[in-house]
Amino acid sequence: MTEATYFILVALMEEPLHGYGIIKRARAKSLGEVDLAVGTLYSALDRLSETGWVRLDREETVNGRPRRYYRITDDGVRAVRAQAARLQRAAALVLRPSGATSG
């Protein structure tokens, strides 16, 4: 899972968001490290919809434009949790050296 995909899924874990909402939330959650371009975001959303990790939640009209809200699915939550566990194991190797030296 790429970093962009990871933070898109993380952004959607609290509530369904629309495109710009995802960009803002991902930026905040990553402490400014992940700044999604719009083209990248929608390519990722297409792929994630196809995988079944994200789906359309609802559509509103704001200033005459459709605004679509996306929701993470149960499969998506499982995938992002699995990735978080992998990242945690990898981080533990460095951040808790006692675990690495005790063996």
Partner 1 sequence: MSHALERRYRRLLRAYPEHYRAEHGEELIGTLMEAARPGAQRPPLRETAHLLAGGFTARVRAARAPGVPPWADGLHLGAVVVAVATFAQFPVLPYVNYPAWTVLGIVLMVALVRGWTRVAAPVAAVAAVWTSWPIVWGGFYVPVVNLGPLYGDLAPVAPYWVVAVVSVVLAVRRAGADRTAGRVRWWGATMPARSSRWLLVPLAGWALQLTQVPTYEPTWVVSRAGVEVAALLLVLAATLTARDGRWALAAAVHLLPGLVYLAENLLVTSARGFLYWGVVTALVVASLVAARRVHAKA
Q: Which residues bind partner 1 (CB under 8 A)?
A: 1-2, 18-20, 23, 37-43, 46-47, 51, 62-63, 65-68
Nearer to partner 1, 66 or 103 (CB): 66
CB of 43 to partner 1, least distance (A): 5
CB of 96 to partner 1, least distance (A): 27
Question: Strand (E) positions, the chain?
Answer: 17-18, 54-62, 65-72
Distance separating alpha carbons of residues 82 and 22, to the nearest angstrom: 21
Which among 5, 34, 39 is positioned nearest to 19, based on CA atoms?
Answer: 39
Distance separating alpha carbons of residues 98 and 103, to the nearest angstrom: 9
Nearer to partner 1, 43 or 88 (CB): 43
Nearer to partner 1, 18 or 71 (CB): 18
DSSP per residue, 15-35: S-EEHHHHHHHHHHHTTTS--
Nearer to partner 1, 46 or 75 (CB): 46
The answer to whether residues 55 and 70 touch, using CB atoms and an 8 Å cutoff, is yes
CB of 53 to partner 1, least distance (A): 11
CB of 67 to partner 1, least distance (A): 6
